[in-house]
Amino acid sequence: MNSLAQLKPTQNSLTFECETGNYHTFCPISCVSWLYQKIQDSFFLVIGTKTCGYFLQNAMGVMVFSEPRYAMAELEEGDISAKLNDYEELKRLCLQVKIDRKPAVIFWIGTCTTEIIKVDLEGIAPKLEKEIGIPIVVARANGLDYAFTQGEDTVLAAIANSCFKMNSRHNIEAVTTPSIILFGSVPDFVANQLSLELKSQGITVSGWIPSRFFKDLPEIQEGNYVCGVNPYLSRTATVLMRRHKAKLIGAPFPIGPDGTRAWIEKICSVFSIIPIGLNEREKKIWDSLEGYLQLTVDKSVFFMGDNLLELSLARFLIRCGMTVNEIGIPYMDKRYQLNEITLLEKTCHEMNVALPKIIEKPDNFNQLKRIRFQKPDLVITGMANANPLEARGINTKWSVEFTFANIHGFTSSKDILELVTRPLRRNNSLQQLSWNSYALHP
């Protein structure tokens, strides 16, 4: 019996559930691996135990030829038992960093251990930055409170707070055209593409958070328009609205041709601009994806939940002809993702497919039972569950790969489908190989 037939709901709106309340995700301190590359005059000091150091060293796969601008401040027994002076130890490390690397800013990344033993990083930082003459930004990216990509959210929220300090010495010239500040860490060429897309509609991007250099952070004034490009930046959005009195443009996220078009359309609508050429632009991208769409149509996908990109990816894959059995997601701010949720519902209705069930903080054990029953063609999961699923004949794709891939904007749609279809193409090749072997040796 086809299990998918049993999944079609009778309601016309999405259903939300919550299971264990635990995060089954990659550690959020991993955000260091892409943020230190984005902010090129920075240095990241991760304050934790040797376990955190092993994680960053091994899981991030840093090339031996590179010279990453981050390090571990390892907490030993003396630190944990409060026998040592936190201020003096951090001062010694930061002075060493200042001499060796000469950064424009030092980020302190708090971990589970600093949270448990209550190291007062926020209290130490202001005094120490005056003494050493380098800005220190404190962000708590511990796995107790935050899921995988929320590590970036805590860092960007801390950066947004520091924009108050930057305002007195860095000002943006007044512009007469509609302008907006975007937030979310993406590679420079992706940021340029998104900026150009808005520029072609007559909208100026007056700054990014984070920027390539710390000194280039935009001044955020009351009434400025801001918009996010990632679904997991709800804390950053809150800081921008509450502290800076900025106006948040709630929009679907620019992931996939459909999401990118909707993102631009929403920003244009705020400025009373009628977008030009978007439909043609989107159609051209869809036409270029035809080879991939032949592989995705009528296939099913199950999201176990890891990187908080699940809703946006599911919406795009439904538009590509796939059926989404379930969307697991570690955490979701329904206010911040409201427009993405609305677009997901609209996409399901337009594609005439069942609305997926959305499960926040899913229980992996229960999910595995549902996967065994539903038999999806592909499971997008964290690395811990991938090999056991593959051993049971279920195609998987690591969710972390979407975090490190370029998935934003019109031109990155191919990169998403390249990742999604790789296991499907591999299976087709293996089946063809098996059939050829049988034909040769019946």
Tell me the pLDDT of the chain (442 aa) as tens digits: 333 333 344 456 788 888 887 777 788 888 888 898 899 999 999 988 888 888 887 766 644 445 677 788 877 665 555 556 788 888 989 999 999 889 999 999 988 888 887 888 888 999 999 999 999 999 988 887 888 888 899 999 999 987 655 554 444 444 467 899 999 999 999 999 999 999 999 999 999 999 999 988 998 888 999 999 999 999 999 999 998 999 999 999 999 999 999 999 999 999 999 999 999 999 999 999 999 999 999 999 999 988 899 999 999 999 999 999 899 999 889 999 999 999 999 999 999 998 999 999 998 889 999 999 999 999 999 888 888 898 888 999 999 899 988 999 999 999 999 999 998 887 766 555 444 444 444 5
Residues 245 and 190 reside in one and the same domain: yes
pTM: 0.87
Residues 187 and 128 reside in one and the same domain: no
Residues 296 and 413 reside in one and the same domain: yes
What are the backbone angles phi and psi of residue 358, rounded to the nearest 5°?
A: -105, 120
Asked whether residue 160 is domain-assigned, the answer is: no
Of 250, 270, 290, the position where a domain reaches its end is 270
Number of domains forming the structure of the chain: 3
CATH number at residue 407: 3.40.50.1980
Sequence letter at residue 208: W
Residues 16 and 57 reside in one and the same domain: no
HSE-up of 207 (CA within 13 Å, CB side)? 24
Q: How far is CA 387 from CA 56, 209, 383, in A?
A: 22, 37, 8
Which residues constitute the domain of residue 349? 3-23+278-434
Contact 163/135 with Cβ under 8 angstroms? no
Q: Which two tokens stand for residue 147?
A: 């899921």
Q: Which two tokens stand for residue 65?
A: 């030829």
Residues 32 and 130 reside in one and the same domain: yes
> What gap in Å lies between CA 296 and CA 290, rounded to an integer?
10
Residues 365 and 302 reside in one and the same domain: yes
> What gap in Å lies between CA 406 and CA 416, rounded to an integer?
8
Asked whether residue 371 is domain-assigned, the answer is: yes
Asked whether residue 165 is domain-assigned, the answer is: no
Contact 385/311 with Cβ under 8 angstroms? no
The 3-state DSSP class for residue 206 equals strand
Contact 203/177 with Cβ under 8 angstroms? yes
The DSSP element (H or E) to which 323 belongs, if any, is strand 323-329
**Strand pairing partners for 225?**
247
> What gap in Å lies between CA 409 and CA 253, rounded to an integer?
9
Residues 200 and 116 reside in one and the same domain: no
> What gap in Å lies between CA 251 and CA 253, rounded to an integer?
6
Residues 252 and 394 reside in one and the same domain: no
Asked whether residue 254 is domain-assigned, the answer is: yes
Of 223, 241, 270, the position where a domain reaches its end is 270
**Greatest CA separation for the chain:** 79
Asked whether residue 166 is domain-assigned, the answer is: no
Residues 426 and 335 reside in one and the same domain: yes
Residues 317 and 418 reside in one and the same domain: yes
Residues 112 and 72 reside in one and the same domain: yes
The 3-state DSSP class for residue 438 equals helix
Residues 340 and 407 reside in one and the same domain: yes
Asked whether residue 259 is domain-assigned, the answer is: yes
CA-nearest of 232, 418, 409, 236 to 337 is: 232
Asked whether residue 417 is domain-assigned, the answer is: yes
> What gap in Å lies between CA 164 and CA 158, rounded to an integer?
11
